[in-house]
A and B are shown apart, each in its own frame.
Chain A
Amino acid sequence: MEPSLPLISAANLAKSYGSKPVLNDVSFQVFPGVTGLLGSNGAGKTTALGMILGLHNRDRGSLEVFGADPWTAGVMAREKIGYAPEHHTLSPTMAASEFVQLVCELHGLPKNEALTAANDALSIVGLGEERFRPMGSLSTGQRQRVKLAQALGHNPELVILDEPTDGLDPGQRETVLELIKSLSHTHKISVLLSSHLIEEVDEVCDSVIIIGDGRTLASGSIEHLKNRVEQSIHLELVPSDLGYSHFAEALTAKPAIKDVAIDGNSLTIGVHSDQAFDDVRDVCAETNSGIVSFGRRSLSLEDVFMESMS
C-alpha cells in the first residue's frame, strides 16, 4: 500500500524548448521506495528530472518536491536530494574523493563530517585507492560509482539517478543495480531511477512512471500495472501434422476467448476472463489435442510498457 504523502507530486507538467514541445501533459507522484522513470530516448525524462531539481522552470502545470515548488523554493528541497547526472564528464582535474566531499559540503555537511561521509560513500560503491585519482583518469564504470557516491554521501531522503548503468559492462551493471536496491531496502533512501532499459527498472523498482510523446502513459506500482494489462494464456501443444488452425477456430468461438496467436505449436491466447482456462481444456478434449504446457503467461514490465505505448 502506498503511503499517503508523496515525495514528489507533478500535475499536468508541460515544457517546450523553443517551438519544440518536450513534455505536454505529465502527471505523477513519487512515493518512498524505488521508482523508475521509464521512457524511450528523448521522451523527456531528463527534462522532468531537471524540473524536479529546479534546474529549469515549467511552462505550465504544478510541481511539488517535499512540499515545495523546486523552481521558486527549491533550496530546502534540493538539500534533501542526491543527484547523479547522466553525463560522465565531471571535472577531470578533481580527485574523486575531493568531488564527493565537495558535494557533501554543498548539501550542508560540515567539513569533517563531509570527509567521513565521502569516504563511507566511496567505500559503499566499491572505490578503493582510485578515489584519490583525478576523475579524468577514471574508467566509465568508476565514474558511475563516483556519481553514485556523491549522490548518496550526504544522506539524502531521495536519490535521483539518471541512466546510472549507462556505459557499464554486465558485471558492473549488476553491482550498481544491487547497490540501488540496497539504498532503499537497507539505507531507507528513496530512489527515482530514470532509464530507458525496461529490464533494469523491472529488476529494481517498486513503482514506475512511463512517459512517452510528452505524456504520462502509466504510473503506479509495477505489480498493479501488470495486473491491469490484459491477461493471456500460454499453451504449447503436442506437434501435429494437421496444424492448429482448427484448434484456434474452436477457441475463438468461445465467449471468454478474445484472440489466438499461433507460433509453431505455441499459442498465445488472449482472454476476457478466467473462464477461458476451462474453455481451453474443453477444446483440447474436443479436438483430441495433447498439451505440453499450459498456464497463465507471466507478464513483464515490457508488456506493460508496450501496452502503454500502443
Chain B
Amino acid sequence: MTSANIYSQGFRPYEGVRTGHKGAAKALFKQSLRNVFGINRKFRNKVVPILALLLAYIPVIVFIAIVVLASNIFGDLISADDVRDALPSMTEFFGWIRTPIFLLAGFAGPLLLSDDRRDGMLGVYLSSPLTRTSYVLTKFLSTLTIVLTVCFIPPLILLVSLYVQGLEDGGIVGFFASLFETAAGALIIGGFYSVISLAISSVSDRKSVSWTSYFIALLISASVVESVADATEATWVRPFNFLDLPNELVRRLAGETGDWSVADNPTSILWLTWLGVIALCCGLIWNRYSKLLVRR
C-alpha cells in the first residue's frame, strides 16, 4: 500500500460571483472597526479604545447596580421615585459619558484617515472597486459606528434597565419615545465629534498632529468662549463652545434647559451652528479628497 500527502493545494482561482462595490465598502467598514478597536493588534493598540469603553460602561454598570439593588434588595426601604431621582436623566447621562465619546472620536478619525494616506493604504483601497466618495462615506460610517458604541449603547442599556425595573412610566409608547430621544441624542453628539475628527484628520497625514489638533481645537473653543462669555457677559458666543454645544442641543431636544439661557442662545441658533460646523467639516473633507493626488 502506498500513501501520499498533499503539501500544497496550489492556486485555486476564485470563479464565483463577486460582491462588487458594496462588498468592497463592507470590507473597508469591517477593517476600520478592527483597526480602531485594535482587534488582532498588539495590546498597545487597544489601550485607548479599552479606556473609552471602560469610561462609558462603568457608569452604566454602576447605575444598573443601583437600580437592581434598590429595587430587589432594598425595595422595602427605598421608594421607586427615590431610586429614579438618584439616577441621572438621559440627557444628564450623556454628560457622564461625554469624555469617552470625545476621546474615541478623536482617536478614530486620525487612525482611519491620516494613517491611510501616510501608509499608502489609500492607494490600495482606491485601486479596488471603491471610489473616493464611497471610501470617505464608509470611513464616516465606521467612525460614527465606533463612536455610537460609547454614546448610544450605554444609555440604551440604562434605558432598558429602567423600563425593565419599572422605574420609568409611559409603557411601550414612552419607551419608544425615550428610545428616539436617546438615538437622536447619540447621533447629535457622536456625529458632531466624528465629523470634526475626520475633517481635521483629512488635513494632516500624521495622526499625532491630527489627534493634537482635534483635542486642542475643541478644548480651546470651550475655554476661550467661556472666558469671553464670563468676562464680557457676551453669552451669545456660547454656541461656539463646540465641546458643550451638542450636549446643550440634546438637552433642548428633551425639553430641558441647561446652563445656557434660551433667551441669549435660542435653540434655532444652536441648530444652525451645529449644522454649520458639520457642513463646514464635510466641505473640507470633500474638497480635500476630491483634489487629493494619490501618487502611490
Contacts and interface: CB of A to CB of B under 8 A. Distances in A.
A17 to B, nearest CB: 7
A289 to B, nearest CB: 57
B123 interface: yes
B129 A75 contact: yes
A106 B130 contact: yes
User: Which label, helix, strand, loop or mixed, suits the secondary structure of the A interface?
Assistant: mixed
A67 B34 CA distance: 36
B131 to A, nearest CB: 7
A90 B120 contact: yes
A255 interface: no
Contact of B123 (A55, A93, A110): A55
Interface residues of A, number: 46
Contacts of A75: 20-21, 129, 131
Contacts of B10: 120, 124
Contact of A106 (B8, B128, B293): B128
B181 interface: no
A7 interface: no
B11 A120 contact: yes
A54 interface: yes
B136 to A, nearest CB: 15
Interface centre among B34, B123, B131 (most CB of A within 10 A): B123
Contact of B296 (A76, A87, A92): A87
A107 B128 contact: yes
B120 A89 contact: yes
Contact of A79 (B11, B15, B18): B18
Contacts of B123: 55, 83, 85
Interface string A100-132: 001111111110010011001101100000000
B72 interface: no
B28 interface: yes
Contacts, number: 120
A123 B118 CA distance: 28
Contacts of B16: 109-110, 113
Nearest to B121: A91
Given A93-B45, A95-B40, A108-B23, A76 B129 contact: yes
A78 B9 contact: no
Contacts of A103: 124, 128
Contacts of B126: 53-55
Interface string A66-93: 0000000011101101010111011111
Interface residues of B, number: 43
B226 interface: no
Interface string B107-125: 0000000010011110111
A46 interface: yes
Contact of B120 (A87, A105, A113, A155): A87
A281 interface: no
A297 interface: no
Contacts of A124: 10-11
A102 B296 contact: no
B127 interface: yes
A154 B18 CA distance: 10
Given A78-B127, A120-B10, A85 B19 contact: no
B150 to A, nearest CB: 22
Contacts of B41: 93-94, 134
Nearest to A162: B296
B14 A117 contact: yes
A151 B167 CA distance: 58
26 contacts: A46-B295, A50-B294, A53-B127, A55-B123, A56-B293, A76-B129, A78-B127, A79-B20, A83-B124, A83-B127, A85-B127, A90-B119, A91-B35, A105-B23, A105-B26, A106-B23, A106-B27, A107-B18, A108-B19, A109-B14, A109-B18, A120-B10, A120-B11, A134-B42, A154-B14, A155-B15
Given A94-B41, A103-B124, 13 more contacts: A46-B296, A91-B119, A105-B26, A106-B125, A106-B130, A108-B19, A109-B14, A109-B16, A109-B23, A113-B14, A116-B12, A154-B14, A187-B13
| 10 smallest beta-carbon distances between A and B, as pairs | A108-B18, A105-B27, A106-B128, A155-B13, A83-B127, A55-B294, A53-B127, A75-B129, A106-B24, A108-B19
Interface of A: 17, 46, 50, 53-56, 74-76, 78-79, 81, 83, 85-87, 89-95, 98, 102-110, 113, 116-117, 120-121, 123-124, 134, 150, 154-155, 187
